[in-house]
Structure 1
Amino acid sequence: MFHKEGYKIISIALIIFIGVNVAAYVAIQIREWQFAILAITSAFLILVLQFFRNPKRNTKINEVTIVAPVDGKVVVIEEVYEKEYFKDNRLQVSIFMSPINVHVTRHPISGEVAFSKYHPGKYLVAWHPKASEENERTTVVVKNNQIEILYRQIAGALAKRIVNYAKEGEKVTQGSDSGFIKFGSRVDVYLPIGTKVDVTLNQKVKGGESIIALL
């Protein structure tokens, strides 16, 4: 199953794959070269397909758990000052996505979208200390009767487009699609101070399934 954001790129990749290999078969009579071109174009096609994959995730919807919004590795767990929306200290949990991770962003909790804003910006590497403030990013806040949390999609050096589906006032379900980041990046989650974090640094998590914190 592939994400809708990849349909156009996958179609173009398939056309290139077929066109190059048909041309190679017609124009090149050396079988070894034909196989080499087939291998290279197949690797390219596989990379495109794996990047836009959208595996089904079995989210166990629960009002007392916060699930990872994306696949990747936990790279930051620290108390910081969140100055865009809350304007107070929050517990930041950051998840870094490599190009081979699933890049679907999912809602970490069920509730109502209270805030959703896009910020144009730079393309510093995703782990750069200033990436969360200077890179292209989107900020989304979801709240319910239990908690209000903020998560931020941050573009990286390779990510040239962030897609955000969250609309203010919309009701969302934990684990459902919130957006997509193309070609590597990170997502920061801001939790209330005192929230019990249920992950450790360098731990790998799955979006929509792994629990990152408990109320």
Structure 2
Amino acid sequence: MFHKEGFKIITGTFIICAAIVLLAEFYIPVYWLRLLLQISALILLILILQFFRNPKRLTNITDENIIAPVDGKVVVIEEVFEKEYFKDKRIQVSIFMSPVNVHVTRYPVSGMVKFSKYHPGKYLVAWHPKASEENERTTVVVNNPFYGDILYRQIAGALAKRIVNYAKENMPVIQGADAGFIKFGSRVDVFLPLDTEIKVKLHQKVKGGIDIIASKND
């Protein structure tokens, strides 16, 4: 199953790769060169297919837990001053996605979208300390009845050239549902209340829509 954001790219890549294979077969007499081009085309198609894969995830929907919005590796867990929306201190949990990860963004909590804004910007590597403030990004705030406002931020990386965000203000959303997509390498930051109990560790790998990154008892 592939994400809808990849349909045009997958179709275009398939046509180009098929053309390379056929043209190489008829117009390149050197066997090893012909084979190299055909294998390279096949590898490119496989890479594009795996990048846009969209595996079905069965989310255990609950207000008590905050789930990972994306697949990847936890690269930041720290108390920071969030200055765009909250303008106070929050716990930031950042998940870095390599090009081989699933790049679907999922809602970390259920609730109502209170804020959704796109910011044009740079394309620093996603793990750069300033990427959260200077890169192309979208900021989304979901109001959850248990936690209050939860902010997540999609951040473009050095390879990511387009962020897709489905969240619209005043739209009800469901935990684990499709919230968007980031193309070709990126990161997502989640900003949580200070009394939230973090359930992940640095460098831990998580699955979006499944793994719990934080919780609160009351």
Q: TM-score range by the shorter chain?
A: over 0.9
- The alignment of Structure 1 onto Structure 2 pairs a total of residues equal to 215
Question: In 2, Cα distance between the equivalents of 1:125 and 1:162?
Answer: 15
Report the 3-state secondary structure (helix = DSSP H, G, I; strand = E; otherwise coil) of the residue aligned with 1:53.
Answer: coil
Q: Which residue of 1 aligns with 2:204?
A: 203
> Are the counterparts in 1 of residues 74 and 204 from structure 2 also a CA contact under 8 Å?
yes
Q: Deviations over 1:33-59 (max 9, x none)?
A: 332222111111001001100011111
Q: Which residue of 2 aligns with 1:92?
A: 92
Q: Which residue of 2 aligns with 1:2?
A: 2
1:154 alignment partner AA: I
How high is the TM-score relative to the length of structure 2?
0.97
2:52 matches 1:52: yes
Question: In 2, Cα distance between the equivalents of 1:106 and 1:195?
Answer: 20
Report the 3-state secondary structure (helix = DSSP H, G, I; strand = E; otherwise coil) of the residue aligned with 1:35.
Answer: helix
Unaligned residue ranges in structure 1 (runs of 5+): none
Report the 3-state secondary structure (helix = DSSP H, G, I; strand = E; otherwise coil) of the residue aligned with 1:18.
Answer: helix
Q: Which residue of 2 aligns with 1:129?
A: 129
TM-fit CA distance, 1:32: 3.2
Question: In 2, Cα distance between the equivalents of 1:201 and 1:85?
Answer: 25
Question: In 2, Cα distance between the equivalents of 1:2 and 1:8?
Answer: 11
1:13 alignment partner AA: T
Report the 3-state secondary structure (helix = DSSP H, G, I; strand = E; otherwise coil) of the residue aligned with 2:170.
Answer: coil
TM-fit CA distance, 1:144: 1.9
Question: In 2, Cα distance between the equivalents of 1:213 and 1:111?
Answer: 17
Q: Which residue of 2 aligns with 1:165?
A: 166
Of residues 81-90 and 21-30 in structure 1, the stretch that sits farther from structure 2 once superposed is 21-30
Question: In 2, Cα distance between the equivalents of 1:11 and 1:155?
Answer: 24
How high is the TM-score relative to the length of structure 1?
0.98
1:168 alignment partner AA: E
Q: Deviations over 1:137-172 (max 9, x none)?
A: 000000121112000001111111101000000000
Report the 3-state secondary structure (helix = DSSP H, G, I; strand = E; otherwise coil) of the residue aligned with 2:35.
Answer: helix
1:167 alignment partner AA: K
Report the 3-state secondary structure (helix = DSSP H, G, I; strand = E; otherwise coil) of the residue aligned with 2:44.
Answer: helix
Q: Which residue of 2 aligns with 1:76?
A: 76
Q: Deviations over 1:163-197 (max 9, x none)?
A: 10000000000000111000101000000001000
TM-fit CA distance, 1:213: 0.4
Aligned CA-pair RMSD? 0.8
Question: In 2, Cα distance between the equivalents of 1:154 and 1:26?
Answer: 44
Q: Which residue of 1 aligns with 2:26?
A: 26
Q: Which residue of 1 aligns with 2:179?
A: 178
- Using the aligned pairs only, state the percent identity: 67
Unaligned residue ranges in structure 2 (runs of 5+): none
